[in-house]
Chains A and B, each alone.
Chain A
């Protein structure tokens, strides 16, 4: 059974890690949070080349993944790390944006950069690129709890990312790296439960 090796969440104006209890505060946009992340010497180095052209769900996934990987410390091994996007809001807004842009351009040719974002798996894949994670990668919706989510995960080191409205939570599950966890309806709730256990 996998357990939590590291976790991070991003909320409006605050990003925090669970195990190492680090906080980045005072950002008004995800671009500003990126600057804070890149300046923080404790954050895992990552490839953020796609950040500027990514939609918000991609940016949230990239930054939350970087922070969760940093929180996992030595337990984070990207070579066979799998990444799962889980529940959250999918790509509804990105679908709408692509289609409206296509209509506005006379229904002739779509814009490729907007089209790529219409796949629900894109944020998880962008997070994989950021971290150089070479394991499995996909988006799932319908698993009822975090325990069901873990059952969907592969045997290898796995990161799960949940993206809701203006927030993201990422957890690194790893074998033998920390305490077991309670069953929760979402990663946000699980993050809170784990913090209440005074995990540090």
Chain B
């Protein structure tokens, strides 16, 4: 079995166009929420990249271009290195602008084709697992490297803010009126965001061959499905806890210095996640933080962003303050904080949860 390392990372979000800029903003507790300009957002504030406003083609395509411009290392990889694209709805704004009587666009496939061209890849796989797409794509890429089927892969997560998705989450009553407050007792919903992020996942040998200094190692992962309800999580968190335990065992039971949680700020998600962490870690629950209070929920991109951020936080040994937090939710009192904390060394657990009861736990660690 080969090792899989993160050789390089890039991102374009509402808070900046590289990993370091984003992590600095997280450590400062900045929130990247602003009013929508590209459709009638009814005054709601979301995590937007306004440099994308007003361009042609799909906004998701422009997001990919923004990422490619800030992360040129990705396009320099050999063409044979495969692309794993994580997205929930792809270039969905093409559907919004579709003329009547024209052929229905397959928006995710269109974005995959665009990303292949933009990053100069010959082949790619679309991975759709709702809001767990990002980490599932990383796990698929890492598994192929561990088995020796590939020695390098480019994992890209991308989702844009659209009227389509915003209206959909509004119809489910899931949107916050005041800005997402993950793990807060008075949280009232999620704030959508848009982002594209990329990781070069490789064997240590391939990373060296392509001139990268690895950022960290993918130590293990676990995935499960609640199989209970298509939108609501199992509030017991039982299946998420199983995914966490599988990831931890696969990683060799490392010390978990901190958790980058899914933490959307909805009542159900956060409650299930807090319970799952207590089930998995009992009285030794690590410090917890969700970047959705800063960037919003970036759907298919969030798992890729969380993984890159986790490695940077491990390097800095700092845990950001929880943006939006006022009064910790019951059960989260010992886990979250509205001030920055020191972070121990070792490993970080990152969690993704998605519609359909999808759970993903991924552990990254420093290179020994």
Q: CB within 8 Å of B: which residues of A?
A: 50, 82-83, 85, 90, 92-93, 95-96, 98-99, 102, 107, 109-112, 115-116, 118-122, 124-126, 128-129, 131-144, 151-152, 154
| Total CB contacts across the A-B interface at under 8 A | 153
Stretch at the interface among B118-126, B204-212, B270-278: B118-126
Contact partner, B130, options A102, A119, A142, Cβ 8 Å: A119
Q: List 17 A-B contacts (CB under 8 A).
A: A90-B106, A92-B107, A98-B164, A98-B168, A107-B40, A115-B172, A116-B355, A118-B89, A125-B356, A125-B358, A128-B356, A138-B133, A138-B358, A142-B123, A142-B125, A151-B144, A152-B140
Stretch at the interface among B2-10, B221-229, B257-265, B320-328: B221-229
Dominant secondary structure of chain B at its interface with chain A: mixed
Digitize B90-109: 1 where CB-to-A-CB distance is under 8 Å, 0 elsewhere. 00100110000000111111
Q: Contact: B225 with A140, CB < 8 Å? A: no
- Residues of chain A within 8 A of B125, CB atoms compared: 140-143, 152
Digitize B110-129: 1 where CB-to-A-CB distance is under 8 Å, 0 elsewhere. 00100000000001111111
Q: Contact: B225 with A134, CB < 8 Å? A: yes
Q: Contact: A141 with B227, CB < 8 Å? A: no
Could you tell me the distance between the alpha carbons of A128 and B133 in the complex, rounded to whole angstroms?
17
Q: Does B334 contact A (CB under 8 A)?
A: no
Q: Contact: B136 with A119, CB < 8 Å? A: no
- Residues of chain B within 8 A of A107, CB atoms compared: 40, 163, 167
CB distance from B360 to the nearest CB of A (A): 8
Q: Does B170 contact A (CB under 8 A)?
A: yes
CB distance from A79 to the nearest CB of B (A): 10
- Residues of chain A within 8 A of B163, CB atoms compared: 107
CB distance from B159 to the nearest CB of A (A): 12
Q: Does B231 contact A (CB under 8 A)?
A: yes
Contact partner, B227, options A90, A109, A112, A132, Cβ 8 Å: A132
Q: Does B51 contact A (CB under 8 A)?
A: no
Contact partner, B105, options A92, A140, A142, Cβ 8 Å: A92
Contacts A121-B356, A122-B230, A125-B230 hold; do A109 and B170 have CB atoms under 8 A apart?
A: yes
- Residues of chain A within 8 A of B224, CB atoms compared: 134-136
Contacts A95-B89, A121-B130, A142-B125 hold; do A151 and B170 have CB atoms under 8 A apart?
A: no
Could you tell me the distance between the alpha carbons of A15 and B40 in the complex, rounded to whole angstroms?
47
Could you tell me the distance between the alpha carbons of A121 and B169 in the complex, rounded to whole angstroms?
17
- Residues of chain A within 8 A of B140, CB atoms compared: 140, 152
Q: Contact: A138 with B239, CB < 8 Å? A: no
- Residues of chain A within 8 A of B267, CB atoms compared: none
Contact partner, A122, options B107, B126, B355, Cβ 8 Å: B355
- List 8 extra interface pairs beyond A126-B230, A138-B358, CB under 8 A: A90-B128, A92-B107, A116-B355, A119-B128, A125-B130, A135-B224, A136-B223, A139-B129
- Residues of chain B within 8 A of A111, CB atoms compared: 171
